[in-house]
């Protein structure tokens, strides 16, 4: 048993978690039929008509092209708070990019992170080398799990072309006790690039040196699309969206 599992502070294990909320599949189907023909801006506008604004949670990784989603939200729903998962392993350039976008788009950004003792465990254990799923679970999935209990909808910037899993997604899905909302899901890479060029959005500084997808320092190398993430490993997702 690992120190994490044995430690008495671990009071949020799966066995102790409350039962996850369930959502009517017919409601999700109707939402998808309504939102599918809309643009990302229209989808975000409609979201606040169909849901209480206080029930909407937005996350951003402030990664390669996060400016796209943040720019759309800042123009369409400037009141929306943005949560950033601070794994403690980000590139300094990511933190600088976050500061820049926050200032540029007047964002209300709140950092969330793992409990200190859990993060420290992964640091000493170098968990990302031996069990990256466990490391992501501690530093990304658990902090979000605690947060999402307070919300009904979770908005994020996933696009279908990014991974095989994402290629299967619709605008809405009910997953793990929350309604996921992907306003950019059907945006192609070309459309994304055109939007970025048209609005002169700043790229993450590491894009200029060959990074296309940017996560933690330990698990990111330069590469096309998401090939630089968990390089030499079958892992393609951190688990947040699975
Ligand atoms: S991406 Fe790597 S370092 Fe970051 S939380 Fe996951 S396994 Fe750990």
Predicted TM-score (pTM) of the model is 0.85
Percentage above 90 pLDDT, the chain: 68
Interval 146-195: pLDDT, tens: 899 999 999 999 999 888 889 999 999 999 899 999 999 999 999 998 99
- The half-sphere exposure of 197 on its side-chain side, counting CA atoms within 13 A, is 6
Q: Whose CA is nearest to atom 5 of ligand 1?
A: 136
Largest CA distance in the chain: 53
- 236 assigned to some structural domain: no
Report pLDDT for 107: 97
Q: Which residues make beta-bridge pairs with 174? A: 179
Residues with CB under 6 A from ligand 1: 87, 89, 128, 132, 135-136, 139-140, 215-216, 218-219, 238
- 112 assigned to some structural domain: yes
- 237 assigned to some structural domain: no
Residue 216 annotated to the active site: no
For residue 116, give the CATH number of its domain. 3.40.50.620
- 89 assigned to some structural domain: yes
- Structural domain including 130 reads 19-219
Interval 19-75: pLDDT, tens: 778 899 999 999 999 999 999 999 999 999 999 999 999 999 998 778 999 999 999
């Amino acid at each position: 048993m690992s120190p994490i599992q044995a430690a008495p502070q671990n009071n949020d294990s799966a066995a102790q978690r409350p039962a996850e909320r369930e959502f009517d599949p017919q409601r999700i189907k109707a939402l998808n039929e309504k939102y599918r023909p809309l643009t990302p801006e229209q989808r975000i506008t409609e979201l606040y008509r169909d849901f209480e604004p206080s029930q909407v949670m937005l996350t951003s990784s402030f990664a390669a092209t996060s400016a796209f989603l943040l720019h759309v939200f800042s123009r369409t729903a400037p009141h929306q708070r943005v949560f950033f998962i601070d794994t403690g392993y980000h590139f300094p350039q990511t933190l600088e990019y976050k500061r820049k976008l926050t200032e540029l788009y007047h964002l209300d950004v709140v950092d969330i992170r793992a409990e200190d003792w859990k993060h420290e465990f992964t640091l000493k254990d170098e968990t990302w080398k031996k069990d990256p799923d466990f490391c992501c679970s501690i530093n990304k999935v658990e902090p979000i799990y605690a947060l999402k209990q307070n919300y009904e909808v979770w908005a994020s910037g996933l696009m279908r072309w990014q991974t095989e899993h994402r290629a299967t997604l619709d605008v809405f899905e009910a997953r793990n006790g929350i309604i996921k909302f992907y306003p950019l899901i059907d945006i192609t890479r070309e459309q994304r690039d055109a939007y970025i060029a048209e609005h002169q959005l700043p790229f993450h500084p590491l894009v200029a040196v060959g990074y296309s997808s940017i996560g933690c320092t330990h698990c990111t190398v330069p590469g096309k699309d998401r090939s630089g993430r968990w390089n030499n490993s079958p892992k393609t997702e951190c688990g947040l969206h699975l």
